[in-house]
Structure 1
């Protein structure tokens, strides 16, 4: 790939900015005029994947592009909405971390490493464990390098070898026919046990019994997969007490703490925690930031989910805390939006990373033309603002196909609707 100023702005394989266009965006993003009188510098995070050179040598450029797209699907699960990504080479991804100090950039880099370290790249009969180099370059407001920065070489751990074996075992098992549709087993199949857990005061059990949903994470048969946990059923009204005094939050943070033996990194996890706007204030924001630091929890592993019908009256008073949490890297999800106008009004006040569309809204758009047009206009608007659109509660092949036709993801990230499951987590349809 020859990256010159004559190239088109975007990479055809991934849609990312190419080198020249990406550098123009960096310079523009650092200019004083774009940020007012207060100049906030940023950093470049360069991720280089030597493992892709091996794939290119044995399988060609098309295989490299496919593997790069899958790696991008993983990176997007932790991508901050204010940052910019570019493909600066066949094997290299660069992320412009806006308003980010070198020390914070190091923490963000380690979050990406935690996701990517044990990925297995597969192309045909060829499989390779992850091998990546990253480099952080501090910038001044003109977009020029201020220091040498830091760099690190990351090799896959022994878990990657076990993953290669697991992939081969699944591929040879014959349990899943080509093209067979697989989807989440509805929780109603275990409704008695689920209800008992929900009513229990044992918050650790509540986390362990959380709902599963797909999103990208590791590469399994060409496709990334991650288990995403939701600590209470979709639509359940969040508690109103402060999160700093919530036993549930303690259990969530404990389960996400680095070093916990909870199945990672073979399955990377993210917790979606329902909250109400009235729970979020400056005190709770500082508490959550400190807890993530002291317990070694990646902030982007925590996703706070707010229902639109419960936040309208409390959102303005909670705005400073919501914005602070977003700056810290905590993910924000908005549930229950029904129209583009409603989404526009809320998005002007706070940046939500995920827009969650319910199965009920998708079902209505499948049956009624007007409902479909309203949903399509909402999707177009969210895509223009680069928000990820996902769905939950989809448990039928027809509804899954409809969601994919509308470009609504079954979980988080671009690849999750086409991910394949670990045996035992999903069932065939």
Structure 2
């Protein structure tokens, strides 16, 4: 049986193509949703871009017929804009105020009542990213759903970048002797290029080894780099060892790092970038950038020149640089960076239109990027550059993103089977015992 889906504004602003995600069913957009989309289209951000795309797409659908009557979509479904059903008779005793959310609920409720009077009435389902709208719908006896088609991966199946397997002592010894073994000897499991394999002895608890799958996915080989400190930083756990291997390998131009706060992602990436830029001269410049998304209430406009405005947003980067350069006096780091000239700390706001060749690029807090924004960033990367995307998908400050549809998760899942990228998910916090406990408990 076909269904009627009533879409909330946040669904369209999250995914402008969501109209085409409901197969051969009918998609209904309440008129108030168009008003909300119109109010957002002048925004100079991702929400504004999506609002403009939705407007153009709906305008193009007018070629198929009158939108308030019903037009056919290429996927076999239909689309219409609902101009009526704004009566609050069914809602006035529960939700008195005539907010936009309640108007959308009224449209869905009245459509549902209409369908109930028909012999072959169709189910009416309200689709919203807003939890409270879905709660209200439940109170009204309406079916409601979250919009999940934009999710890159379901639930806790995000690629970790490594695999743990138990092996026989003989296989482990051969790995140590020859430096490689065939993946077919390990497990009947799909392997990805540059995936790490933690091999544990099935009989001896202390026996273990870490290897990396080669680009052909046929062999697991020893890691190239050992545990020598770089810029005073030494890896403290196996995930950090894996992360440094990816960061220092010249044949892996795209690296993604995930992990909770305090797992060492930013510090390791900066240390690896400084080593390859300043000491080895492999790259001309170290570019560090992060999206400007406030945690909590926005502090508004900041005074001063661009560098002064950016300083509060970029302070976490400067904190790590102060640690690496071992600075103790105020202004000492600024003097060092001015003297070097090869380290650039920038906001992602200014990256569009640039071409960035021969640079080591670090994008921090990448979980706050949308799919479109992360595509914009990756298409800026020039020849002989290396880019590192890192963040914690559990700490998202963007109002329309979650752990499963953000830009960082999108890149991890899209590139996991490509021969130019590597990924690792950090687990253990190394900032302090308190920080690790807070990340686990809170």
Q: Same fold (TM over 0.5)?
A: no
TM norm structure 2: 0.25
Name whichever structure is richer in helix by fraction. 1
TM norm structure 1: 0.26
User: Max radius of gyration: which structure?
Assistant: 2
